[in-house]
């Protein structure tokens, strides 16, 4: 216990040390707002198999959107922003089929370099030019299967921002780290490293997704009270790195086995601003129900 408290104090003080005190010239497309607009995102991962199936999934979703759904909107902070992340080859076609419904498109990944001999990779200008507004950064599958480390994730976050897009930065502890009771330390460290050099102004465009790795694709949902508590802790880290304004304005999603059955309870919690959904986003009915969660806060 003593050890953990000491480690956490050290991480929090280094989080403050990483804090970017000055702003740079990168344009922020949003401003820090006191009201956190809900944001529901669907990460399709390496699904579905064909372009026709991807378009059908997007179209199925558009028919299920409720009136409380809209793109990011300072004038209407209570309506839910919806973002979907199809695989790269399907992005353009899916965007055409969903944009009139107010659904925003994002890329599941990109490489931080601008161009060159990087076989198999795509860069920021490519995904921006086909209409992507968001890019997932730091997803646990990228961290483990594709060796994205915190330094690479940090470069990716900064490239997304300087290109005029918005990162959804995914962080979260593994099962072993959860069992060791070092969840907070792991999340604080990831936030500190992955946001190093990101300015206060740029934070208006950053969404954080807390995704316990042990809950992703396993059917094990983190309890809503536990997730809410972790989100609250992440705000204390953001307050140390930036200030209370950033801590309160930053949208923090929960991700990990979210379903129509768990969404209402999760979204009733004050610190949870949305969900990042994998498996259930591949079923239009299920994701439609998640987007149209019951508003109880
Ligand atoms: P899941 O995936 O909803 O299938 O657990 C979540 C994610 O990977 O973002």
Q: What are the structural domain ranges in the chain?
A: 35-291
The CA–CA distances, whole Å, from 279 to 56, 66, 83, 202, 267 equal: 16, 21, 15, 30, 18
Do the strands 166-171 and 134-137 form a parallel or antiparallel pair, or are they unpaired? parallel
pLDDT score at 250: 98
pLDDT score at 136: 98
Residue 22 pLDDT grade (very low, low, confident, very high; cuts 50, 70, 90): very low
CA of 277 relative to ligand 1 center, distance in Å: 5
Residue 6 pLDDT grade (very low, low, confident, very high; cuts 50, 70, 90): low
Residue 65 pLDDT grade (very low, low, confident, very high; cuts 50, 70, 90): confident
DSSP letters of 35-82? S---EEEEE--S--SSHHHHHHHHHHHHTT--TTB-SS-TT-TTSBEE
Tell me if 279 CB under 6 Å of ligand 1. Answer: yes
Tokens standing for residue 291: 């987007």
Sorted by sequence, the CB contacts under 8 Å of residue 296 that are 6+ apart come out as 264, 267, 268
Catalytic annotation present for 211: yes
Residue 237 pLDDT grade (very low, low, confident, very high; cuts 50, 70, 90): very high
- Residues 130-149: tens digit of each pLDDT: 999 999 999 999 999 999 99
Atom 3 (ligand 1) nearest CA: 278
Average pLDDT on 265-290 reads 97
Residue 21 pLDDT grade (very low, low, confident, very high; cuts 50, 70, 90): very low
pLDDT higher than threshold 70 for residue 180: yes
Given the residues 81, 133, 139, 177, select the one marked as catalytic.
Answer: 139
Catalytic annotation present for 51: no
Average pLDDT on 270-280 reads 98
Between 201 and 7, name the one with better pLDDT.
201
| CATH 1.20.1260.10, domain 35-291, yes or no | no
Q: What is the mean pLDDT of the chain?
A: 90
Measured in degrees and rounded to the nearest 5, phi and psi for residue 20 equal -80, 105
- Residues 66-112: tens digit of each pLDDT: 666 666 555 666 789 999 999 999 999 999 999 988 899 999 999 99
pLDDT higher than threshold 60 for residue 20: no
Looking from the CA of residue 215, the nearest atom of ligand 1 is 5
Question: For residue 276, what is the enclosing H or E element?
Answer: strand 274-277
CA of 137 relative to ligand 1 center, distance in Å: 14
């Amino acid at each position: 216990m003593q050890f953990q408290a000491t480690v956490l104090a050290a991480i929090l003080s280094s989080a403050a040390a990483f804090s970017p005190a000055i702003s740079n010239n990168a344009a922020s497309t949003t401003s820090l707002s006191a009201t956190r607009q809900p944001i529901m995102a669907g990460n399709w991962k390496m699904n579905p198999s064909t372009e026709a199936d991807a378009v059908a999934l997007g179209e199925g979703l558009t028919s299920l959107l409720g009136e409380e759904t809209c793109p990011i909107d300072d004038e209407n902070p209570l309506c839910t922003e919806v973002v979907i992340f199809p695989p790269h080859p399907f992005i353009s076609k899916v965007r055409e089929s969903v944009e009139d419904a107010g659904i925003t498109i994002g890329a599941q990944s990109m490489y931080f370099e601008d161009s060159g001999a990087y076989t198999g990779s795509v860069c920021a200008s490519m995904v921006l030019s086909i209409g992507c507004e968001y890019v997932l950064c730091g997803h646990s599958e990228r961290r483990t299967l594709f060796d994205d480390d915190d330094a690479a994730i940090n470069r990716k976050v900064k490239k997304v921002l300087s290109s005029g897009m918005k990162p959804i930065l995914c962080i979260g502890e593994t099962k072993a780290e959860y069992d060791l009771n070092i969840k907070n330390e792991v999340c604080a460290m990831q936030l500190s490293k992955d946001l190093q050099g990101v300015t206060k102004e740029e934070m208006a465009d950053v969404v954080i997704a807390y995704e316990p790795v042990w809950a992703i694709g396993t059917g094990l949902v983190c309890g809503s009270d536990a997730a809410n508590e972790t989100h609250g802790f992440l705000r204390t880290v953001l307050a140390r790195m930036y200030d209370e304004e950033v801590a309160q304005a930053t949208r923090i999603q929960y991700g990990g086995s979210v379903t129509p059955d768990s969404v209402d309870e999760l979204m009733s919690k004050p610190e949870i601003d949305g969900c990042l959904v994998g498996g259930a986003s591949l079923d239009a009915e299920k994701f439609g129900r998640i987007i149209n969660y019951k508003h109880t806060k």
